[in-house]
Structure 1
Amino acid sequence: MHVDNLEVAINAHLPDILRRADLEKSTVKTLQKELESKLLMSLDTKKNYIRDQIEMYLKHGARHAFADSGEAPEQHGGAGKRGKAPRKRTVEKKKKSGRGKTKEVQDPTKPKGPKGPYMCFVGVRRPRLKQEKPTLSFPDISRQLGLEWRSMNAETKAKYVKMSEKDKTRYKNELEKYVPLNDHEMEKLREKQRERKAAGGLQVMYKCSPELAAFFNDGTVQINRKELTTRIWAYFKEKGLLDDSNRRYVFADAKLAAFLGMQAGDRFLAFTIQRFLKPHLHPL
């Protein structure tokens, strides 16, 4: 299989593997091994991509995680144009969104877009649902939210439509006051992005959010991902937060829950911790 088709092939097989897997016992490594056995090749170069897809699946379910995956590439023989067409389409797609491509720098001062009615509902309902049913997994929570939204009567739904309209007004007002960064300021941001990329992902230094700095409470204001992961795992072990029945899971104590936006006692997959930490790392 040509390397340009790897992500397409991964997306073709991974949903079925995840649906059949026992996610309480599986790890990214074991899921990757199963993929490799199906594709008959090493996927070490795609382990970060596989991890991202698994996290997306856990958060949103297969519909969102693999929405753009398409079908597995067909095997074509010969050297005719027909045999090369799928490869060409895949390459064009990777030019737009392939891993390793430098994303265009966004103006950090630009107002955040408005939420639609459904996202307003999710913002209100998800924390309550997690409290009511703490054993539900991320995919189950997403499915439950979707079911509740689809069965909601018009009167109740109107409340979230109103919230959405209010957020649109907020966005419109902020947009009127918004002054885009000039070309020089944007170029400085691009230069910082290039420096971070050259330094390598795990070693790039970030500014800690106030919540993260307060969590450490030792004067730490800058940190890289490698050190952050090491310190968070040390905290898990020091406080005895790893689930003894399945050490791939962690129970959040009050301090960790407040920092990560959870409820004390929430149980989550340890390898998803980066998703919770990401909002607390700000570019220097």
Structure 2
Amino acid sequence: MIAKLEMLIALAKEQHFGHAAEALGITQPSLSNGIRQLEDQLGVKLVNRGSRFGGLTPEGQRALVWARQIVGDARRLKQEMRATYAGLAGHVRLAVIPTALTWAAELTARFTERHPSTSFTVLSRSSEEILKQIENLDADAGLTYLDNEPLGRMTTTPLYREHYALLCRSDHVLAHKHSLRWPELNGIAMCLLTPDMQNRRILNRHLMQAGIEVVASVESNSTIVLVSNVIAGRSVTVLPDHLARFLAAGHDLCVVPIEEDSAAPTVGLVALHREPYTPVVQALRKLVAEMARDQ
């Protein structure tokens, strides 16, 4: 039953029989047979079939909710049992907003030092994608904004507040200021994250409140691209202060703090709110709370 529920989850995610089969590492006929067997067991039609995948039926949508819960519970049970005799171990999939990747590195380094039998895959994702990946069981937890997206059935553990800074070349007109306010960026060429990123939406609000029309000369979902444009001298960028300092190291760049004009957004750990939590998620929450207290 668990394997067939995983097939339903994969099919709902991929929206294509062939792609779902490939993701599961099975043949397409095996996937189709598994879905039909699941339909027979449940006594309802789950998938609209034609020449191609036609979406889930209403019963399929409801079954998908149960499938995610049951498969998630099965994985938690497995981790719980393994932890009782082998200690904390396993592979953790952590989805992270791009501006929190330096914090993710600190978190994973401390975690694996404390629990040497664990390993991580860290995925850079938008805040919306992080929630979807956790819901779809494609990520175990995430680092994202806690007070800007609707978080739904997530448990949250605050880690830090995001403060902003201008990153520019040392020969820029704003380079040697001790700090600046948002209106001072009026008329300054900027490169920024893409609009699908929550960080960009936050910056847009700050700039618009300062009366600045937001026009980015370069947009990217990569902070490396933004900093490369700054180094080339084409524009400036605005990043969280900790990330700006990290990316400026070794380059002829200046980091200028931007004075706060509203409450700084909170970034922290999110995971599905299901008790009992897996030992790994519980340990992650504990470590994030410790890191928050250490600041």
TM-score by length of 2: 0.22
Higher relative contact order (CA 8 A, sep 6+): 2
TM-score by length of 1: 0.22
Q: Which has the higher strand share?
A: 2
